[in-house]
Structure 1
Amino acid sequence: MKSLRHAVAFAVPAAIAAGAAAGAAAVLATARRVVMPSVRRNDTQILAVDTGAQTIELSRTPDTELPGRYGLFTTGTYGYVKLGAVLSADATSVRRKLLTQIEPGARVDRDAAFSGWYHQSPSELHLPWESVLIGSPAGPCPAWLFPADSSTWVIQVHGRGTLRSECLRAVPVMHALGLPTLVVSYRNDGEAPRTRGGSYALGASEWRDVDAAIGYALRQGAQRVVLMGWSMGGAIALQTAVSSEQRDAIAGVILDSPVVDWRTVLRFQARESGLREPLPGLAMGALGNRFLARLSGAEEAIPFDRLDMVARASELDAPILILHSDDDGFVPADASHALADARPDLVTMPEFHVARHTKLWNYDESAWSSAITGWLTAQGLA
């Protein structure tokens, strides 16, 4: 009996300690996924390719069933193909028109990633452009400059886990208005310099690279700039708007599917991934603690209060256009609506539905382009 009591006395604390260790590991792993740059995730399966009819059959998802033009990252003979209209669909599959010619005999693997990028290279736009380097605190950040005659420049900022190509959809709209466009990279995005830890700060440090781009534009003759941010790029643009010493030059901000408050986004994404409280809250708490944040891969604690732009709405002073689908599915529009409600004097937010995350251009190019053109014109920026 004594040996049994000793065994129990040892086993219970050990089990508790093991459970605590496992729980701590889960918290840190969840936190790490937030701040470490991610590899593109295959979210679609290619079921069939008809090279005669130039059609492709995909597994049906809320993204693949959307009308419009999209891209598909593949492996095999083609790394990326462009997709056109939905031709037919059933409960499990969608058949779409191929806009990239696939030759007979080509190898196209089953796993793929559906994308709203559409354009991969600036040369696809058939507009004048050049590659430039922006000298930022992180080092030289590559950018694409599309010149035009206006002294109002647009600076575009891509989202988390993507590259500058995400922004190319907006360039023709700006060019038609005569606005030069600078499409920038930022630290740890895979094109700009990598910092010591190589992690995202969710906008808390990346804004300095965008601030450097503002300085570049001003030195090249710009008098005003319009910031345009996609997804996490929206969070970066908003941080720039309230933090930059050059903020007087910021004449407007355009946000596509933006992150306005990270806590709202991360809780939503945790629920969608099947994670339940208290794990998401504990992970954010870990990222807010300097020691635990570093264990999670972050270089510094993530200042979630500072990144909450609904709470900081009174600090904004430039007009803002928010383009955000209520059916985003990845970054919920709640915080965007909350910011619009908090600053109706600054924020314009037209209604968008059905379109998914950063796919408003793809789903309804006319409405998306008209919203931007009308807003820029109304603000006297075009």
Structure 2
Amino acid sequence: MVRDRSRRCDAVRPLLPWLRWGGTGLAAGAAVASVLAATSSGLAAYYARMIVIPNRRREDLPILAVAGAAGERRVVLPATAETTVPGRYALYVGGGASRALIGEILSLDGSTVTRAVTGGDEAALAAATRGWWSGDIIADPGELGLAHTDVQIGTSAGLAPAWRIDPDDPAGSAAATWVIGVHGRGARRSETLRGAAVMHRLGYTMLAISYRNDGEAPRADGGRYGLGGTEWRDVDAAVDFALDHGADRVVLLGYSMGGAVALQTVDQSSRADRIAALVLDAPVVDWTDVLGYQARLNRVPDSIGRFSQLLISHPAGRAVTGLAAPVDLKSMDWVSRAGQLHTPTLIIHSVDDDFVPAGPSEELARRNPEFVRFVRFERARHTKEWNVDPVRWEETVAAWLPSALRDW
């Protein structure tokens, strides 16, 4: 243990001159000593690794009771900020092996909520005592009645599986528009299927893709997230796949961190001129803001949170984080870079998002009204705007996207 602490101190020593990074750094003297003490004890290092290491979902929601016959089943859960929001959701149990579909609120007594079970593996739900709550309710395109093909995208990390969903009229002019679904942190490609039905109705071809380190695509970069700084290469490969298979133009549909990945793709890709529009749901448009918010939410001392960001973004921090390369957080601050975004962008974001605050999304649109439109949702938690109001979500996309593409 003493040896490990020594290594951590050696790793962070080159960072000391950078403690005033970003103009909001720490004061010298006692503050530096405090940060070093925290780092040597593993707090800053632990938080930095937590940010970049892909995490397994925890079954953190107790299932208090399951009652009723098949077709009339109901589940009793603790009343939380997530479980008391109207809409359609999934409750995953058995380590994610099974999924029950959850519908309307039947009763709410303050400490517990009773909701209808509308489908999925009801037997597994009845046998479970804990699970996790999710907005990812569509397991594959077949559940939407959409024919699809399993394809492999050749990326620099290896072959990444994807679903290709073709329109009913593959010869139609709209079919030359391909939508690439980019999921968020800790999620899988099924997350993007909530946007598949409206894209299908618009006549577009859709690719729901996986990318490095998400549990479906190959492992790369030390198994760490690049927060968009590495994952964009796999989206870029999907853009190439689309263009090689008949696409004239591409739309990126990004959720949460997938929004950050999409923004890095239009910024870095050599084929960015073929990316005609972005549709972003609860996107990360400024990682510094999100990480600061998450640190406060998790009661991480401000100094530790800032130093963790420095560990992620400085080359010397790689010994602590395990990153293959530092993450350039400043290049992912699209609020500051608002004038550099020239791709028509629709942002759908709930002001009640408890994970990625909507403020930076709204500010990006305010600073760049020519290219960015912000649509405000309420009540929905993170990336669950569609779950709360699928009609409004789809109508918003259907009204904006064809118009944006006409100007391309």
TM-score, reference length from structure 2: 0.86
In structure 2, the CA distance between the partners of 1:103 and 1:250, relative to structure 1 (3 Å rule), is closer
Q: What corresponds to 2:76 in structure 1?
A: 57
Q: What corresponds to 1:96 in structure 2?
A: 115
- Residue 344 of structure 1 aligns to a residue in which SS? coil
1:31·1:286 contact (CA, 8 Å) conserved in 2? yes
Matches within 5 A, 1:233-312: 233-312=258-337
Which letter does structure 2 place at the counterpart of 1:362? Answer: N
C-alpha distance in 2 between matches for 1:124 and 1:82:
12
1:123 and 2:142 aligned = yes
User: How big is the shift at 1:130?
Assistant: 0.5
Percent of pairs with identical residues: 42
Matches within 5 A, 1:150-161: 150-161=175-186
User: How big is the shift at 1:343?
Assistant: 0.6
Which letter does structure 2 place at the counterpart of 1:171? Answer: A
- Residue 83 of structure 1 aligns to a residue in which SS? strand
User: How big is the shift at 1:106?
Assistant: 7.0
1:73 and 2:92 aligned = yes
Which letter does structure 1 place at the counterpart of 2:226? Answer: A
Deviations for 1:90-130, whole angstroms, at most 9, x for unmatched residues? 11111011012666797522211000001112221211101
Q: What corresponds to 1:23 in structure 2?
A: 39
In structure 2, the CA distance between the partners of 1:243 and 1:296, relative to structure 1 (3 Å rule), is same
C-alpha distance in 2 between matches for 1:69 and 1:77:
18
Deviations for 1:329-378, whole angstroms, at most 9, x for unmatched residues? 10001110121011100111122111110000100111111110000132
Matches within 5 A, 1:183-222: 183-222=208-247
C-alpha distance in 2 between matches for 1:78 and 1:133:
23
Q: What corresponds to 2:8 in structure 1?
A: none
Which structure's residues are more often helix, by fraction? Answer: 2
The one of 171, 181, 190 equivalent to 1:165 is 190
Which letter does structure 2 place at the counterpart of 1:305? Answer: K
Which letter does structure 2 place at the counterpart of 1:43? Answer: D
The one of 324, 337, 359 equivalent to 2:362 is 337
C-alpha distance in 2 between matches for 1:366 and 1:222:
28
- Residue 153 of structure 1 aligns to a residue in which SS? strand
Q: What corresponds to 1:48 in structure 2?
A: 65
Q: What corresponds to 2:379 in structure 1?
A: 354
The one of 58, 82, 90 equivalent to 2:101 is 82
In structure 2, the CA distance between the partners of 1:49 and 1:314, relative to structure 1 (3 Å rule), is same
User: How big is the shift at 1:316?
Assistant: 1.5
Cα RMSD (Å) = 2.1
The one of 54, 57, 65 equivalent to 1:37 is 54
In structure 2, the CA distance between the partners of 1:182 and 1:237, relative to structure 1 (3 Å rule), is same
Asked which structure has the greater CA Rg, the reply is 1
1:152·1:225 contact (CA, 8 Å) conserved in 2? yes
C-alpha distance in 2 between matches for 1:247 and 1:258:
19
C-alpha distance in 2 between matches for 1:361 and 1:283:
33
- Residue 171 of structure 1 aligns to a residue in which SS? helix
Which letter does structure 1 place at the counterpart of 2:85? Answer: L
In structure 2, the CA distance between the partners of 1:367 and 1:97, relative to structure 1 (3 Å rule), is same
C-alpha distance in 2 between matches for 1:168 and 1:76:
21
Which letter does structure 2 place at the counterpart of 1:353? Answer: E
C-alpha distance in 2 between matches for 1:329 and 1:103:
29
TM-score, reference length from structure 1: 0.92
C-alpha distance in 2 between matches for 1:376 and 1:221:
20
C-alpha distance in 2 between matches for 1:264 and 1:106:
37
Which letter does structure 2 place at the counterpart of 1:144? Answer: W
Q: What corresponds to 1:4 in structure 2?
A: none
